[in-house]
Amino acid sequence: MGSGGVPVESGSSRVGRTRSWVAGTLVALAAIFVALGCAEVGLRAANFSFQTFPVVQFGYPDPITLRNLFVADRDLFWVTRDYAAALATARQTHPAVVFMGDSCTQFGSYPGIVLTRIAASSPALASGVKVGVVGWSSEQGLAQFKRDILPLHPRVVTLYYGWNDHWVALGPPDKDARPSESVWWLSQHSRLWQLWMKAGMSTPGRIDRRPYRVEIDRYIANLTTIVDLARDNGIAVALITAPSGHEVGHEPQYLALRHVRRLSDLVPVHRNYVAATRTVAERTGATLCDAAAAFDADPDHASYFEKDGIHLNQAGNRAMAAVVTPCVLHAAAQAQGEARR
């Protein structure tokens, strides 16, 4: 007994209680690991798989499309299934012009038309590759440029962004969406983690309170960084403004479901990002390829778009090529002049 009649715990009692606590904790942890292991085995036995990029969520591509049509990429979020092969070919062929962008470039025929038109006057510039990927923003474009395009050492790069950047982010904005190495590994290998991701991919909160995938200041910074890096490496850049077939009061209704906060935002917000592209060209001295202005001035421009008012049909691609061709030639000549000075 201690002073005042309070019992004093002996050393052996404390050791015994500590051992009991440690043993209980180990048993509990072992039970948890066994349960998790059984769940993992069960999901694999059921052929469950949900290998998409973790936490990325917005209008398009949706998680199912990402899983079925694309390959996950930690730096670029996702790439087309033939992306690695196309890049390997480009490393061997050394294309003079690289066409970067989103689905407007991936699905567009304007790059091929541009190269055909260039061949007549500047055959040295007549080789090229398009590396745009559906759903990409300028955030992915910057990462792609640093990792995959700079090593190609092209003479000219065209940048055609400005749609996906101002779609609403249902998950975190693009700048915050890259995972740590451990999260990336789990997302690609653990079925239990994939199940947790799938369960959590529901629209979080009100869409009118969500941020844009790439806020406009970040958009300007991304394009500016690409231009600066390109110039430091002797590469010319042509910035293409994204033309639109949308009219106030006639915006596509489907965009209100997952893409924009309010349909009434669509036209003015897109115009802001077009203006931001012009701002980057003015600040950096990069070649401005103002397709948006050229289309607006063309009385036939409404017939140049698919029904979504975003992607170009064949007539639109020809019109785009007519705008981009002199831009590529100008950018190349400008870069050559700077190299001589």
60-64, 213-217, 275-279: the lowest-pLDDT one: 60-64
* Residue 221 half-sphere exposure toward CB, CA atoms < 13 A: 8
Query: Which range has the worst mean pLDDT, 14-18, 69-73, 299-303, 333-337?
Result: 14-18
**What pLDDT does 70 receive?**
87
If asked whether residues 90 and 134 sit together in one domain, one would say yes
Residues 194-234 pLDDT 10s: 555 555 555 455 666 788 999 999 999 999 999 999 999 99
Q: Do 252 and 320 have their domain in common?
A: yes
Q: Is the pLDDT of residue 256 over 70?
A: yes
pTM for the model: 0.80
Do residues 309 and 259 make contact, with C-beta atoms less than 8 angstroms apart? Answer: no
Instruction: Single out the residue of 175, 276, 287 nearest to residue 227, CA to CA.
Output: 287
pLDDT at res. 72: 86
Instruction: Look at residue 251 and tell me if it is in a domain.
Output: yes
Contact yes or no for 232/282 (Cβ under 8 A):
no
> Where residue 69 falls among pLDDT bands split at 50, 70, 90?
confident
Same domain, 38 and 113: no
CATH number, domain with residue 160: 3.40.50.1110
- Rounded to an integer, the average pLDDT of 118-131 is 95
- Is residue 214 within 8 A of residue 137, CB to CB? The reply is yes
Burial class (CB in 10 A: 0-12, 13-18, 19+), 254: exposed
Pair (328, 251) in one structural domain: yes
- Residues 40, 93, single domain; the answer is no
Residue 62 included in any domain? no
Same domain? For 25 and 119 the reply is no
Do 162 and 41 have their domain in common? no
Give the pLDDT of residue 20. 76
300 found inside a domain: yes
Phi, psi of 240 (to 5 degrees): -100, 125
Query: Is pLDDT of 55 > 70?
Result: no
Average pLDDT (65-89) is 90
2 has pLDDT over 60: no
Within-domain flag for 321? yes
pLDDT in tens, 279-292: 999 999 999 999 99
Q: Do 300 and 255 share a domain, yes or no?
A: yes
Interatomic CA distance for residues 180 and 198, integer angstroms = 19
103: left (phi over 0), alpha (psi -120 to 50) or beta: alpha
Clarify whether residues 147 and 290 are in a common domain.
yes
Number of domains making up the chain: 2
Indicate whether 87 pLDDT > 90.
yes
pLDDT at 119 exceeding the cut of 70: yes
Report pLDDT for 66: 75
Residue 28 pLDDT greater than 90, yes or no: no
To the nearest whole percent, how much of the chain has pLDDT over 90?
61
In a domain, 9, yes or no: no
Domain presence at residue 308: yes
Domain that holds residue 38: 15-47
Instruction: Give pLDDT tens digits for 322-336.
Output: 999 999 999 999 877
Which of 63 and 319 is assigned the larger pLDDT?
Answer: 319
In a domain, 159, yes or no: yes
Residues 22 and 137 in one domain: no
> Is the domain of 112 the same as that of 231?
yes
Q: Are residues 34 and 92 in the same domain?
A: no
Do the Cβ atoms of 240 and 158 come closer than 8 Å? yes
**Backbone φ, ψ for residue 53 (5° rounding):** -70, 130
Instruction: Work out the average pLDDT over 41-51.
Output: 62
Residue 196 falls inside a structural domain: no
